[in-house]
Amino acid sequence: MAQKIVAGNWKMNLQFEEGEALVNEILRGSRASDVAVMVFPTSLYVQSLSEQANGEITVGVQNFNANEKGAFTGEMSISQVESVGASIGLIGHSERRAIFHETDADLKLKVDTAVEKGFKFIFCCGEPLELREAGKEFNFVKTQLEASLFHLSADQLENGIIAYEPVWAIGTGKTASSQQAEEMHAEIRSWITERYSAQIADSVSILYGGSCNNKNAKELFACPNVDGGLIGGAALKAESFLEIINAF
């Protein structure tokens, strides 16, 4: 069975004290359950927040560099972020792809470095609006996965988590319907079954992201192939994030 996960991607939001207060409230408010809770603050806060979270919440980074060290001004390696408490990183968020021009090849390198280091990751995929409107969303997402993820061996893939985040739903308030999410998640699982095995497909968590909030999480999480959510805006307030966690 895939692990249930609710992860908050804070993006470039929250001052340090706000992040601390939010982690405090999440720690106080989440019911003991089988849901793994994760937050992805700016890397600047990782050390402090991971100490505060004390293993009850997983603290990760929104990005990392595929190189081990060297002249890469402004970048951070996996060993650096691990040394301050990060145990997981996002790879290929649509904002990294679109704004920072990260290519499938760049993301493949990050996946490989993460696997080599035993660093967990959430690999993000999802189609832009014009491809959904053209009925090409399945092909597009499959191509993204084949280009950067499906070269891994079965053991290596098990280290990863997949987040399906349709670009048109991110930060727009326009959520995929539970039917649209379930359809894509079921396809992703069937591709893993074809390429690997049904057992691997069942063990990889597939999260939905894109305007998932406290109003729609219950319906989305009730879908058999939706193992949780990667939450942006609704993860910035304890009340909505806690409701999402408790929506399972």
Residues that bind ligand PGA (CB under 6 A): 9, 165, 170-171, 209-212, 230-234
Catalytic annotation, pick one of 82, 137, 165, 182: 165
Nearer to ligand PGA, 77 or 235 (CB): 235
Nearer to ligand PGA, 111 or 231 (CB): 231
With beta carbons less than 8 A apart as the criterion, state whether 21 and 243 touch. no
151 in active site: no
Nearer to ligand PGA, 57 or 196 (CB): 57
Closest approach of ligand PGA to the CB of residue 23, in Å: 18
> What is the arrangement of strands in the sheet containing 206-209, beginning at the earlier edge strand?
58-59, 35-40, 4-9, 228-231, 206-209, 160-164, 120-125, 88-91
Closest approach of ligand PGA to the CB of residue 212, in Å: 6
Task: Calculate Rg over the CA atoms of the chain.
Answer: 17
Closest approach of ligand PGA to the CB of residue 211, in Å: 4
Looking only at the bridges linking them, the beta strands covering 120-125 and 88-91 are parallel
Nearer to ligand PGA, 77 or 211 (CB): 211
The three-state secondary structure class of 123 is: strand
Q: What are phi and psi of 38, to 5 degrees?
A: -130, 145
Closest approach of ligand PGA to the CB of residue 56, in Å: 22
Q: What is the DSSP letter of 224?
A: T
Q: Output the furthest CA–CA distance in the chain (Å, rounded).
A: 47
- Cβ neighbours for 216, distance < 8 A, ≥ 6 positions apart: 175, 178
With beta carbons less than 8 A apart as the criterion, state whether 113 and 100 touch. no
Nearer to ligand PGA, 164 or 196 (CB): 164
165 in active site: yes
Q: What separation in angstroms does the CA of 87 have from each of 123, 159, 176?
A: 14, 12, 29
Looking at the DSSP assignment, which residues form a beta bridge with residue 65? 77
Closest approach of ligand PGA to the CB of residue 236, in Å: 9
Catalytic annotation, pick one of 93, 95, 102, 137: 93
Residues identified as active-site: 93, 165
